[in-house]
Amino acid sequence: MRLRKARVKKYRSIRDTGFFDIEPGKTILVGPNEAGKSALLEALQRINPPCAMRSFDALRDYPRAEFDDIVAGKVRFEETTIVEAHFDLDPADKETVPAEFRECRYIYGRRVDNSAWHMLDGGPAPRKFGDIKKELAHLFAHVDPRVPRGMDGLPPATTPSAAFAAATKGWQDADEIKGERATTLKKGLEKVFLLIEEGNEIEEKRYDALMESVTLEERRLSALKALHQRLPVFVRFRDYFRVRPLIHLEHLAQRLETNVLDGDDYDYGNQCLLRLLGFTARELSNLGKANESKPDDAEGWRHYRDQLDRRAYQLNSASRRLTEELCNIWKPDAKRAEAERLRILADGQYLKVVVEDDLGVEIELDQRSEGFQWLVSFFVVFFAESADKHRNAILLLDEPGLSLHALKQQEFRSTISRLAESNQLLYTTHSPFLVGPDELNQVRVVEMTDRSVGTKVHTNATAEDPAALLPLQESLGYDLAQSLFSQQRNLLLESLTDFWYIDAVAQMLREGGIADLNSRIELMPTNGAAKVAYFATILHAKKLKVAALLDSDTNGDRATSQDDLVRALGNKSILRSKDARNGVRSPRVEDLLRETLLRVGKNRLGWDISNAAAARPDLSIVEVFTNEIGADFSQYRLAKAFLRWSKDHAASDLSEEERGGWKRLIDKINATLK
């Protein structure tokens, strides 16, 4: 199952984050120091940690400013939820539950007293006693006369209907059929089954429908039990989970057996390394103490050799696996023979982690850079935690790769994306190099501008604190600086949302064989129609081919009238959204997806403006959304919802008019920048 959205309350700096969306692959949490990012990951891990972790401690973890509420008894621990998570079901999950619950969302929560609760959102509504009373009366009217008479030929003193009336005495029509009521009804129906006339389809169907109603709660509980067993494990990796390059096995075994250290994290990296190797510290230590057998003890010598060979083979296998992953990040372009090799060696009571460089020299891990040590530790912990039952874990990375060089961070970003293909992943960061310019839809901004309000998480890329958005601004600025003169052909766009729409639809039409946007054209958002002229002037001065796509609204008209823009591009290279969309007074790029965005807004965001849009077909769809939804409307949220929709749909799911309009636009772009 996939985490769809979450909410954290009453945890350290967090009063209430509000619900925030989680991406199917990776989700990036950005924000300044002390915003509550680490606390957010800690709370999320409590949904289902990989192993026993410290229980929630109200004294330590409840917001300190509200601790008086605990002392005064105003807070009931068993009623206060710390973290609530909503999950979408994967196909494999759906196979484990009855068909009527397969489109539900699974909701799981953890309370202050460390207890948990879960429920299903969707599916059939709980049946009430009043819903089935009439059908029960019809069934009993059929079976009562069919009760066998006694030895004296007289009818029995108690009929099924009378027994049923006594069992349900005091029940109200609004009472839900669950618990003892469901058990009573089910037993009563089972008793009268044999009294139904054989071959009477009407009464048999009535019985089946009643039994389905009274067992609905039973099936719901069965679905909940099945889904709880499939709840993903939340694995959190922190920067201080380090693998030590030299481990004394006997000392490590003693520390683990006696819990001599107070901190749970001191030996965590080393424990993960041992789990990856398939040994406990005690087993490896004992192997280091193994005595050779007597010369005439053939069986003893074989056992001794098998022990040492098994240790050597497993160390070699783990070394090879880690080396492959490190090569993909540390030196992605190096030949395998030239790449540095990680080696895990056992020598008596010492377990060493060394790196063999391209000269064949072995160097201890702690003599390499902080960034390299961090990568080794990361992969050791990741492989250990994500094995077997954690294979479908949700990974939580707290400030990954801070010690990596900026370019290594960019390369590590692709590794995170690769991990997110099989493991849903959330990570916090300050670094602009860990936020790709094409990943802004995956960003959640974490901020705390007022401690009395606490930590807030914004699904949109907005924040009151400018520091929260700094990584995004720096990421866009760096990407723009790198790509500004990299392509011969450039299409200037007004906004990031325009970029998303064009990029997504172009991919859909390309896969559908309808239109093919030239892949050599660089799509360049400029953050406003007023800035298009500046970019056009700079690019034109570099003798590059440039065109601009502007909305046919007031801002677009104003930009088109700028002399600098006309001089740089010429009228033929200034494209307008009205070139591809007719019937709308001031069309924008969104109007090229008018019908689809109406569905996306309704089904994915709960914004139903169908009637208003039908009443004003001449008005831009953005204006209709703004008028009907008001302050809650966001072009960013609408575009982001469309991006999610496009991943699960094809060009054939667009209307014929939309496909035609986008084909005209793409053909014109290609012709202008040929």
- 434 within domain boundaries: no
Domain check: are 506 and 585 in the same one? Answer: yes
- 78 within domain boundaries: no
Q: Are 38 and 398 in contact (CB under 8 A)?
A: yes
**pLDDT (tens digit per residue) in 272-315:** 888 777 778 888 787 777 666 677 777 777 777 777 777 788 78
312 three-state secondary structure: helix
526 three-state secondary structure: coil
Domain check: are 566 and 660 in the same one? Answer: yes
* Counted domains in the chain: 3
pLDDT the model gives residue 337: 44
The rounded distance, in Å, linking the Cα atoms of 521 and 494 is 16
pLDDT the model gives residue 441: 75
Domain boundary among 229, 245, 262: 229
Domain check: are 272 and 341 in the same one? Answer: yes
Range of the domain at 279: 235-390
The rounded distance, in Å, linking the Cα atoms of 195 and 193 is 5
| Per-residue pLDDT at 504 exceeds 80 | yes
Instruction: Indicate the pairing of strand 81-88 with strand 545-550.
Output: unpaired
| Per-residue pLDDT at 82 exceeds 80 | yes
Domain check: are 207 and 355 in the same one? Answer: no
pLDDT-derived band of residue 558, with 50, 70 and 90 as boundaries? confident
Q: Are 446 and 426 in contact (CB under 8 A)?
A: no
Domain check: are 223 and 249 in the same one? Answer: no
Q: Long-range contacts of range 254-257, CB-CB < 8 Å, 24 or more positions apart?
A: 256/281, 257/282
pTM of the model: 0.67
What is the amino acid identity at position 557? D
- Name the residue among 655, 668, 666, 629 with its Cα closest to residue 501: 666
DSSP state of 528: S
pLDDT-derived band of residue 460, with 50, 70 and 90 as boundaries? low
Overall average pLDDT of the 55-82 stretch = 79
Domain check: are 361 and 262 in the same one? Answer: yes
- Name the residue among 271, 265, 276, 272 with its Cα closest to residue 398: 265
Domain check: are 147 and 260 in the same one? Answer: no
- 68 within domain boundaries: no
Domain boundary among 362, 390, 418: 390
417 phi/psi in degrees, rounded to 5: -60, -40
Domain check: are 266 and 207 in the same one? Answer: no
pLDDT the model gives residue 413: 81
User: The tokens 């296998």 sit on which residue?
Assistant: 317
Alpha-carbon separation of residue 106 from 88, 292, 424 (angstroms): 7, 58, 16
Domain check: are 301 and 181 in the same one? Answer: no
Domain check: are 258 and 281 in the same one? Answer: yes
| Per-residue pLDDT at 467 exceeds 60 | no
Write down the H helix ranges in 338-441: 370-385, 406-419
pLDDT the model gives residue 333: 54
Domain boundary among 351, 372, 390: 390
- 633 within domain boundaries: yes
- Work out the number of other CB atoms within 10 angstroms of the CB of residue 25: 18
Domain check: are 369 and 277 in the same one? Answer: yes
- Name the residue among 15, 107, 19, 100 with its Cα closest to residue 64: 15
Domain check: are 278 and 213 in the same one? Answer: no
| Per-residue pLDDT at 338 exceeds 50 | no
- 542 within domain boundaries: yes
- 599 within domain boundaries: yes
- 198 within domain boundaries: yes
The rounded distance, in Å, linking the Cα atoms of 131 and 405 is 66
What is the amino acid identity at position 422? S
**pLDDT (tens digit per residue) in 377-409:** 877 777 776 655 456 788 888 888 777 777 777
Give the least confident one: 35-49, 328-342, 598-612. Answer: 328-342
